Structure 1
Amino acid sequence: MSRTHRSRTALAAAALGPLLLVSACGGSGGTDDTDDTDGAVTELHVVDYYNNDPNKSVWQEVLEGCADEVGVALRRETVPGGDLIAKVLQMSSSRTLPDVLMLDNPDVQQIAASGALTPLDELGLDPGGISEGVLAASMYEGQLYALQPVTNTLALFYNTEILAEAGVEPPTTWEELKQAAADLTEGDRYGLALSAINTYEGTWQFLPFMWSNGGDEVDIATPEVAEALQLWKDLLDAGSMSQSVVTWSQGDVADQFAAGNAAMMVNGPWNLGTLEAVDGLEYDIVPIPAPTSGADVVSPFGGEGWVIPRTGDDARTALAAEFVQCLTGEAAVTAAAVGTHTVPTDPALAPAVVEQVPQLASFAEQVPNLRARTGQLGPDWPGQATAIYEAVQNALVGGMTPQDALAQAQDG
């Protein structure tokens, strides 16, 4: 799931362009410790924010594998996610930009707009079978700026024991979801848990309902979006969800589900490790219910893209391009997906991953229909994402109707 520091990212992106012009004149920080005396590049500097295990260790092996394939040593630097853009600014001003940089996918267009990145088309990189929805987040003004090997999205987790005891089948439509959530609500246990918090996490969780019903982020004051928000309000008003969903993060939702306080939850595959550690918890995963039977479910995708900053060093840039291309190869993608509980952005690579981690099946099957949050609004997405979660809050606990809450947010 994406970070929640979009305004800071936007400001940083605006400052990044001028700094990159200075940095490009001086290369990426000299050649004393990264090149042979004959000028050959012997090391690539890579920066990412996978600074916690298992992601850190899994990606270390993947990155080292691609460094070996390219024929260079790896100098990897990891920073906390919220500090990444500030770190890039500092490196830019000191002319020490990395050869390869990882960005949260909603940030790619903002940074590309600053002129900080090299268009990958110019370097001959091939996106292969990466789905069009994922590629949309890596495009800016018709050019490709990032390759994203793996992704994550949302699905419906359910406690198999609780549903079996209640005689409830996993819901596939909104009406079935409302009925199942009501039937599964008993005592201190709610039928459904999700995150309706007033952050980007709340927007992220609402998007599958909004998009699957034909709603659009360009104009959220429409009957289609209001109908999706009414579904959430109905679930809350019926007591099928806790009133606390408006303050729960996705981590909180997972904790409630793991503790047996919710029979179903909307969440992502990053929770698989947490759930597997709970003794006696039996669960399964299905796609989020569609508005009507047979309708497509359209969900957002998370994850990160790999970009190549403009450093002014053609030799290093060429090797960086080979390195990034390697990260989308079958071996790298499979290792990353299995190790981090994500799914390939190329659907053709999914079967090998699902064979090893069957719980990823419901996430992998959504990849062809995944939609980029920045696909239509580009760098303007953060503002509308804020409007969406504010409307959700106003409708659920602010006393406004979904229609009024969405109209106010759109006009604001």
Structure 2
Amino acid sequence: MASRLPRRRFIQGSAVVAALSAAAACSGGGSNSSGTSASAASTADFTGTGPITWVQGKDNSDGKVQERIDEWNELYPDEKVTLIELSAEADQQRQSLINNAQTQSDAYDVISIDNVWVAEFAANQWVVPLPTDELKNDDIIESVWETGLYMGTLYGIPFATDSSIMFYRKDFLQEAGVEVPTTWDEVKSAIDAVRALPGHEDIGGFGGQFAKYEGLTCCASEFINTAGGSFYDDEGNVTINSPEAIAGLQTLIDGFKDGYIPTDSLEWKEEDGRNAFEAGNLLFYRQWPYQYANNMAALGEEKFGVAALPSIDGNDFVPTLGGHNCGISVYSKNKATALKFVQWWTSQESEKYALETQTLAPVIGSLYEDSEMLEQFPYLPTLRESLDSAKGRPKAVSYGDVTAAIQDAIYPAIQQQTTAEDAIATLESSLNALS
């Protein structure tokens, strides 16, 4: 129960600690619950069968999610699943899920939870503990599996993982006679070379998701982590104000200042940059693997490629570990059906389907070595290496406050309105105030 939990907000690795009295809030709205009603018991009662809902962000796969759900509905006509799509934006998805939980609504049964939200949703008892013995699969990548744990208990079962990779316009690099870059300096040189070509003088260079939302937290974290900086240590102490973190942020600021990162990307979320990339207005794009399927449809394999993100000043790039987990709402009336659906939705068959139809990064390790999958998706070894080197965002019960503080400090810096030193100092103060 809430009164038994240590009063610390940050969780590192398997040594997880949290404060229920500090419930999360984000810029789109907050939550002030220190625990829900008595119905949010510590042990779930997986009874009740019948119709349920699957709740996720906007489906960008041209109906492939619904097609998979249709297969379930054919198998289990008395336990039909209805797809509920939320916003395409992570911040708004989170707020919709919180609003549903705070009103104790049974409208949402199985929900898609960003892996960094697991601690918040578990601590507030918005999702139920899950039976590990019925869901554990030794083929699930261990670091991905651990994203579903809170206080040593499983609250979210991963169904899609994520790590950022670099999409590049193969046709433009070939036209300029440039090899695929592996370092940040080579990225800048490649941009210069392509811009020297007639018709490409104004092409955007290296894009990312730099609008003031969760994408900015992911992208800025990568530059800071790559330089050797960190936000917290293993005990949850704030460590952001370091020469390494300042250097990482300065590299990002300079990218905008020198014109290698387009100023348009200050307003970009995932799909904005993808559209620019496919329209020929961007040379390199830091993005999640799902874009591969879209690029294949819009460009064809002769016009784009996928590579690891570049090293910076001799440091291997540290991508952000993304991904989503299935959680079951404490207010679901049909938890038996919900659990059965989660088992089916995270099966190897479903993982393979999601890879083939949506190019979602699978949580099943063997699929990265499957010869059939490698033939269809030759970038899988690059993606697996990215996953293995990726670093998660801070695991915090008050994650909404943490990510808002990061965005508030970093966004003015990349707009050239403040210095890296001042931005990091501001962030240090904000994070300490949350501890």
TM-score of the aligned structures, taking structure 1 as reference length? 0.80
Q: Which residue of 1 aligns with 2:311?
A: 290
Q: Which residues of structure 2 form unaligned runs of 5+?
A: 1-23, 233-238, 431-435
The structure 2 residue matched to 1:45, chosen from 25, 44, 52, is: 52
Q: Which residues of structure 1 form unaligned runs of 5+?
A: 29-39
Give, in whole Å, the separation in 1 of the partners of 2:319 and 2:184: 15
2:82 is the counterpart of 1:76 = yes
Contact 2:57-2:93 within 8 A present in 1 as well: no
The structure 2 residue matched to 1:120, chosen from 130, 134, 149, is: 130
**Distance change >3 Å, CA 390–CA 185, structure 1 → 2:** farther
1:3-402 to structure 2, matched below 5 A, reads: 7=26, 11-12=30-31, 14-15=32-33, 17-19=35-37, 21-22=38-39, 42-52=49-59, 54=61, 57-63=63-69, 65=71, 73-81=79-87, 82=92, 86=96, 90=100, 93=103, 96=106, 99-121=109-131, 124-186=134-196, 187-218=201-232, 219-278=239-298, 282-291=303-312, 296-310=316-330, 317-352=335-370, 353-359=373-379, 361-375=381-395, 378-402=396-420
**Distance change >3 Å, CA 66–CA 213, structure 1 → 2:** farther
Give, in whole Å, the separation in 2 of the partners of 1:139 and 1:194: 29
Q: Percent of aligned positions with the same letter in both sequences?
A: 23
Give, in whole Å, the separation in 2 of the partners of 1:89 and 1:68: 32
Letter in structure 1 aligned against 2:164 = L
Contact 2:69-2:81 within 8 A present in 1 as well: no
CA-to-aligned-CA distance 1:20-78 (integer Å, 9 cap, x gap) = x2577xx99xxxxxxxxxxx9553513312554526x3233444556777896223241
**Distance change >3 Å, CA 90–CA 265, structure 1 → 2:** closer
145-154 or 83-92, which deviates more? 83-92
**Distance change >3 Å, CA 79–CA 16, structure 1 → 2:** farther
CA-to-aligned-CA distance 1:244-289 (integer Å, 9 cap, x gap) = 3323333232232223222222222333344334457701110111
TM superposition shift of 1:338: 1.7
Contact 1:131-1:367 within 8 A present in 2 as well: no
Contact 1:10-1:110 within 8 A present in 2 as well: no
TM superposition shift of 1:16: 8.6
Secondary structure at the residue paired with 1:239?
coil
277-286 or 157-166, which deviates more? 277-286
**Distance change >3 Å, CA 364–CA 176, structure 1 → 2:** same
Q: Which residue of 1 aligns with 2:21?
A: none
Q: Which residue of 2 aligns with 1:34?
A: none
Contact 2:205-2:262 within 8 A present in 1 as well: no
**Distance change >3 Å, CA 232–CA 53, structure 1 → 2:** closer
**How many residue pairs align between the two structures?**
387
Alignment RMSD, CA only? 3.4
Secondary structure at the residue paired with 2:30?
helix
CA-to-aligned-CA distance 1:188-225 (integer Å, 9 cap, x gap) = 12332233222221222222222233221223222222
**Distance change >3 Å, CA 381–CA 355, structure 1 → 2:** farther
**Distance change >3 Å, CA 292–CA 71, structure 1 → 2:** farther
Secondary structure at the residue paired with 1:149?
strand
Contact 2:49-2:336 within 8 A present in 1 as well: no
